[in-house]
Amino acid sequence: MSGHNVWTHKGTFLLAAVGSAVGLGNLWRFPYLTGENGGGAFILVYALTIFAVGIPILIAEIMLGRTSRQSPIMGMRHLTKTHGTSRAWETIGWLGAASAFLILSFYSVIAGWAIHYTWLMLTGSLVGADAQTISTGFDALLAAPGLMTLYHTLFIAASALIVGMGIHKGIESGLRIMMPALFVILLVVLAYGVINGDIGAAASFLFTFNIADLSLEGWLQAMGQSFFTLSLGMGAIMAYGAYMPSNVSLTRTAFAVAIVDTAVAMVAGLAIFALVFGAGLETGQGPGLMFVTLPLAFAEMPFGALVGGVFFILVLGAAISSSISLIEPVAAFLVERFDMTRPQAVTIMVIAAWAMGLLTVVSFNLWAEGTIFHTLFGRTAFDFIELLTNIFMPVGGLLIALFAGWALTQSEVMKELGSSVAWFKLWRFLVRFVAPAAVAFVFLRTLPQVEGYLIPTLGALLIIGAFAASQRWLKKPRQTT
């Protein structure tokens, strides 16, 4: 056992996990990916993976954290020893650290845009502005790498300060107010969208589908998004699980996180698309979607500058509570493994992610479409990093599912789950077979189309390797049924 202490309040884990899950993934990434992928079919794949794959893996991931009570890498090392399995399962921790690092790098840049809009709102700069002005303003932000770097620096530094000072002090009470406030203000925007936008068109865009409309990369993006939005498959939730008191229900917590997270995404999606259709904007405009549509609503609504200012502050709060969960697993590892102090560990992680974030900054200007980088690689660095995380998170989730499903003993899992045998059996069936099969299905279907031969080979190798090795790595399977 490590020196990990356990959170004293029962609700702290739920709060921290919701804080991690709800963020730019719901407000910015979900609407923009849905818009780019034609709506309903994307949501269908996303929702199916949330419920059939996401929730079981969420449970598995918290369970691994809580039984090991260490950071993901050290925790997996510990579990492989106590369960007589191969050390290769530590890959879960390493892959998670790599994903956390990649995600933090672009997450902070996008959160930086929210700083810009908070400022524009509070100074009233956009009051009465029309769609044209707002979209030109957004393009101007994208064209300014210096300004974007400044915001990126501010955001990542603020996150680092919070994690460096110790994870849950202050955050907890902040989240208790912020999360409900965010939801309420989203409902206000939705109400505005219902009155002034076209909610009918939004609903039919989001909830009617023709699965054939979804491109192959769309499948990968939908699955990747369901992992992304639940903060799954990369150790963030495992790291928090290490602090979760043993008497809190895993199942109930996991469902609560998934339901709250999905609700936020749906309300955000409905509000944004009601505005998009109402104003005749483009659904597939990409990463700028939220930053162009919502300010338009705030420009027109009564007290819009104030409502918009508060809204973007809450977006920033939600983003910070997610970004600290990206820093935590890597920082905790550095502390445990190299005896660093917390501030040292956080500084190293954050400086590296900051530097990597510059690639995202230039993806929108110096190395944007039409420049040499894009011509050479066929996509921007930001697109490439997103693609990598869309692969890494599900692979990480797959490994977590296999380890929790096959290596943990029945009595161990029953103790953790603390529920009926029927639910245990269903859960184990989901993590043993359904989740791995679903992830493999999407990979095999998608990857050949994504990046020539390189990625399919990589993906197939990873999957075959994981399946084959899971049997060999689990030297002594302890479960018989």
Q: Does 135 bind ligand PFF (CB under 6 A)?
A: no
Q: Does 73 bind ligand PFF (CB under 6 A)?
A: no
SS (H, E, C) 103-150: HHHHHHHHHHHHHHHHHHHHCCCCCCCCHHHHHHHHHHHHCCHHHHHH
6: Cβ–Cβ under 8 A, 6 or more apart, which residues?
Answer: 69, 243, 244, 245, 246
Residue 401 CB burial class (10 angstroms; 0-12, 13-18, ≥19): buried
Contact pattern from residue 234 through residue 253 relative to ligand PFF, giving x for each residue in contact according to CB under 6 A and a dash for the rest: x-x-----------------
Q: Does 179 bind ligand PFF (CB under 6 A)?
A: no
In terms of residues, how long is the chain?
A: 481
Chain-centroid distance of CA 19 in Å reads: 11
Q: Does 23 bind ligand PFF (CB under 6 A)?
A: yes
Candidates 16, 17, 18, 20: give the one binding ligand PFF (CB under 6 A): 20
In the complex with ligand PFF, the residue whose CB is nearer, 135 or 389, is: 389
In the complex with ligand PFF, the residue whose CB is nearer, 41 or 234, is: 234
Q: Does 72 bind ligand PFF (CB under 6 A)?
A: no
8 Å CB contact between 274 and 197: yes
DSSP codes of every residue in 11-42? THHHHHHHHHHSSHIIIIIHHHHHHHTTSHHH
The encoded tokens of residue 416 equal 């953790």
Candidates 15, 24, 349, 387: give the one binding ligand PFF (CB under 6 A): 24
Binding segment toward ligand PFF, per CB under 6 A, in 182-190, 223-231, 344-352, 395-403: 223-231
8 Å CB contact between 264 and 186: yes
Q: Does 231 bind ligand PFF (CB under 6 A)?
A: yes
In the complex with ligand PFF, the residue whose CB is nearer, 286 or 465, is: 286
Q: Does 228 bind ligand PFF (CB under 6 A)?
A: yes
457: Cβ–Cβ under 8 A, 6 or more apart, which residues?
Answer: none
Taking the complex as a whole, the smallest distance from the CB of residue 27 to ligand PFF amounts, in Å, to 8
Residue 211 CB burial class (10 angstroms; 0-12, 13-18, ≥19): exposed
Candidates 12, 26, 226, 253: give the one binding ligand PFF (CB under 6 A): 26
Q: Does 159 bind ligand PFF (CB under 6 A)?
A: no
| Amino acid making up residue 251 | T
Ramachandran assignment for 450, one of left (phi > 0), alpha (psi -120 to 50 degrees), beta (any other): alpha
In the complex with ligand PFF, the residue whose CB is nearer, 80 or 159, is: 159
Contact pattern from residue 75 through residue 104 relative to ligand PFF, giving x for each residue in contact according to CB under 6 A and a dash for the rest: -------------------------x--x-
Residues touching ligand PFF, count (CB under 6 A): 16
In the complex with ligand PFF, the residue whose CB is nearer, 135 or 322, is: 322
Q: Does 105 bind ligand PFF (CB under 6 A)?
A: no
Binding site for ligand PFF (CB under 6 A): 20-21, 23-26, 100, 103, 228-229, 231, 234, 236, 322, 325-326
